[in-house]
């Protein structure tokens, strides 16, 4: 149960959410420039160990192999879908309602949805935490509960499927989950 969102931690990890977003999109050569890793994570970051493992595994592959791995993993395996509400709702009516709420939330914070993309697309959700201007909005702690809960649930199922495949992306998703966990206050005494 999430009791509160720590907006200071969300701000501190903003750059790492940008990193996660880029790594979960279709791979481009610039996505693997070492400076991206260095700018997004310091030695104290909760995801550093998992992200370094992911990075190291990916550095052993050619760009062609990385693209093939990405396509094979995320485009052809429904258990590894990058749509975070799919695991829970598939195509049920509740999913449509959740997607509409996410889209409204993005618009509330000034982000325009890319045409043809669903708002529960994992890279887009990470991009929202990275790019949206939410720090000065007092509604942020309450408003961010929903996307964080969606990410927590969706990435849990995604991680299990990636682990079964022994995919390098499992380490990336573990790192994302560790970052999210650091941004929430769970089960605060006296709440």
Q: Residue 80 half-sphere exposure, CB side, CA atoms within 13 Å? A: 21
pLDDT in tens, 131-162: 988 778 888 888 899 999 999 999 999 999 99
Question: Which pTM was predicted?
Answer: 0.91
Cβ partners under 8 Å of residue 117, min gap 6? 124
Asked whether the CA dihedral 103, 106, 90, 187 is positive or negative, the reply is: negative
Domain boundaries, the chain: 2-186
Query: 121 pairs with which residues across the strands?
Result: 83
pLDDT in tens, 164-190: 999 999 999 999 999 999 998 765 443
Longest dimension (CA), the chain: 53
């Amino acid at each position: 149960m999430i009791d509160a969102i720590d907006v200071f931690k969300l701000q501190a990890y903003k750059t790492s959410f940008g990193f996660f977003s880029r790594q979960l999109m279709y791979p481009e050569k610039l996505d693997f420039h070492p400076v991206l890793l260095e700018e997004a994570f310091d030695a104290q970051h909760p995801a550093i160990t998992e992200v370094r493992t992911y990075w190291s595994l990916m550095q052993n592959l050619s760009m062609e192999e990385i693209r093939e791995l990405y396509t094979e993993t995320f485009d052809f395996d429904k258990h590894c879908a990058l749509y975070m509400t799919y695991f829970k709702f598939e195509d049920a009516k509740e999913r449509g309602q959740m997607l509409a709420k996410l889209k409204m939330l993005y618009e509330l914070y000034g982000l325009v949805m890319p045409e043809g993309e669903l708002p529960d697309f994992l890279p887009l959700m990470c991009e929202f935490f990275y790019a949206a201007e939410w720090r000065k909005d007092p509604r942020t702690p309450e408003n961010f509960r929903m996307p964080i809960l969606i990410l927590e649930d969706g990435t849990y199922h995604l991680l299990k499927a990636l682990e079964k495949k022994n995919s390098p992306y499992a380490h990336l998703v573990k790192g994302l989950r560790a970052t999210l966990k650091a941004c929430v206050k769970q089960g605060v005494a006296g709440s």
